[in-house]
Structure 1
Amino acid sequence: MMSQFATYPSLAGRRVFITGGASGIGAALVAAFATQGAVVGHVDLAAEAAATLAQAVVATGQPAPWFRALDVTDTAALQAAIADFAATAGGLDVLINNVANDSRHDPLAVDEAGWRSLMAVNLDCGFFATQAALRLMPAGGSIINFSSINALLGPAGMPAYVAAKSAIVGLTRALARQYGPQGVRVNCILPGWVVTDRQLALWLTPEAEAAWMEQVALKERILPADVANLALFMAADDSRMITGQSLVIDGGRV
């Protein structure tokens, strides 16, 4: 329950935009920021899941999040959504580049179109969302990118995803250096194997989870809410002097 954890007064009224917010970690982010009293907007392809999430947020006594169904690889639509949310909310304080596609793929079977498609969702949209946000974000703003511990571990079977998530770490550092003088912080979260419905449906078998538990220091599942709690801290004024950093949340795997 979120009530067990910290409340951040500085997040009340903050305008927060999240990509891929309808399910998994994204849905946990939307719910967590709404609980803090932030004004939350998000985009996703899954309009039905977003509607269910909105109902859950409203049931907690918070306003329904702003939402637009779109493909984040459509740069014009993504940047327009960010601008429209900011216009509705009266500004933009926090951007969270969460959306990703961790589909497994054989490097010998990936053609040019497939490679570019994976880059578009795992890297490019984060850059172009940030570009739009930087035009709107005041001093004190926070951009939170999502990478993965796979950028550090380099597992087989997903080279495009690993490449994109590695690039996000470098992008975070470069943008933090460039926009620090304007008072904007840019950081990166690298989750381990977070237990979401997608992971349970596709890859997190009992055998795979048992192997994971052998490799971590904390023998518990990492939940979407755990990741959201870290994002809350990184968006709040409590972390005001942290920028250009890659924060791992993986139970002690790496």
Structure 2
Amino acid sequence: MVVRSVVIIGGGSEIGIAIAEAFAGDRVIGAGLTATDHPAYADFVVADASTSDGADAIIQHAGAVDVLVLAAAAQPVAAAVDTTDAQWHAAIANTLDAAFYPARAALRVLPPGGSIVAVTSVNGFLAAPGLPGYAAAKSGVDGLVRQLALEYGPRGIRVNAVAPGMIGATGLERVTEGYPLGRTGTAREVADAVEFLASERASFVTGVVLPVDGGLSIASPAAFLRPDLRARFLPG
């Protein structure tokens, strides 16, 4: 078995740790603003990936990089007119900048067969109230994924993303009604999709933003708002 060097940006989050666990058997290095001693990590770098210097330091510390996972994000909640400059810049910096700078640094050392996988969100292509900065940043990551996949495919480097729906929510029955599978997701389900896209099983897949959303993004709102349509497939 080939042991890959996997770097996870945003490694201290619930999803980041689940991704680290999904790469068990590989050399997994986490990076984030605060340290974690989770046993899934061989090493953890405290650095700000939203800056060029911080991202370069992470990749230099890792040495060889075979897989880069971009899982950092900030989600300030406010209507557009109430969004402060600080909230806007936090969303862009901690989501989009924290994807671009590590990707740029890693692309200098990723070998043919290397892979980048970003964790974006259905909010990048489905609107929800109060998330202007987060939605713009996640949409930007989606565009970045396609751009890098096009430019670096000839070098044998694949770039993809997963776009989770709501993860880990409990006690929100009205929310889960909007999901065809009837529930929200788990961090491990996101992690498994990330590991798949980084693996040889997805060797001919690049430039893809894969929804991991229980079918949320395929459902017409009418299916849930109109009682006659709801009755066709929802139990009860």
TM-score range, shorter-chain basis?
0.7 to 0.9
Residues 75 and 125 in structure 1, CA contact (< 8 A), matched pair in contact too: no
Instruction: Tell me by how many angstroms 1:114 deviates.
Output: 3.2
Structure 1 segments of 4 or more deviating over 4 A?
none
The answer to whether the 8 A contact 1:45-1:71 is kept is yes
Instruction: Report 1:176-215 matches (<5 A).
Output: 176-195=149-168, 204=169, 206=171, 209-215=172-178
Q: Which residue of 1 aligns with 2:10?
A: 20
Give the match for residue 82 of structure 1.
59
Mapped pair 1:135 → 2:108: yes
SS of structure 2 residue aligned to 1:140: coil
In 1, Cα distance between the equivalents of 2:158 and 2:177?
A: 35
List aligned pairs for 1:238-249, cutoff 5 A. 238-249=201-212
Q: Take 1:240 and 1:183, find their aligned partners in 2: how far apart are those partners?
A: 10
1:168 maps to which residue? 141
8 Å CA contact retained: 2:51, 2:101: no
Other-structure match for 1:199: none
Q: Matched residue of 2:82: which SS?
A: coil
Q: Distance in 2 between matches of 1:212 and 1:78?
A: 36
The whole-number CA distance in structure 2 between the counterparts of 1:81 and 1:158 is 29
Q: Percent identity?
A: 35
Unaligned runs of 5+ in 1: 1-8, 58-63, 196-203
Q: Partner amino acid for 1:220?
A: R
Deviations, residues 8-28 of structure 1 (Å, cap 9, x unaligned): x5xx41110001112310010
Determine which of 152, 155, 179 is the counterpart of 1:216.
179
CA distance in 2, matches of 1:108, 1:224: 32
The alpha-carbon deviation at position 211 of structure 1 amounts to 1.8
- Select which of 11, 33, 39 maps to 2:27: 39
Distance 1:239 1:38, change over 3 A: same
CA distances 1:169-195 after superposition (whole Å, capped 9, x unpaired): 111111101000000001111000011
Q: Which residue of 1 aligns with 2:233?
A: none
For 1:190 and 1:205, the matched residues in 2 are separated by 20
C-alpha contact (below 8 Å) 2:79/2:131 kept by paired residues: yes
For 2:228, the equivalent position in structure 1 comes to none
Q: TM-score, normalised by structure 2?
A: 0.87
**Residue 181 of structure 2 aligns to a residue in which SS?**
coil
Partners of 1:180 and 1:220 in 2: how far apart? Answer: 36
Q: Equivalent of 1:98, from 68, 71, 78? A: 71
CA contact (8 A) 1:185 1:244 kept: yes
Asked if structure 1 preserves the Cα contact closer than 8 Å seen for 2:164 and 2:211, the reply is yes
Larger Rg: 2
Residue 229 of structure 2 aligns with which residue?
Answer: none
The one-letter code of the counterpart of 2:30 is H
How far does residue 113 in structure 1 lie from its aligned partner after superposition? 3.8
Which residue, 42, 61, 80 being the options, matches 1:65? 42
Cα deviation for residue 221 of structure 1 reads 3.5
Counterpart of 1:225 (choices 188, 191, 196) is 188
Structure 2 residue runs of 5 or longer lacking an equivalent are 218-236
Q: What are the superposed Cα offsets for residues 84-126 of structure 1, whole Å, 9 maximum, x if unpaired?
A: 112xxxx111000001112212321223343222210110120
TM-score, normalising length: structure 1 = 0.81
CA distance in 2, matches of 1:104, 1:181: 40
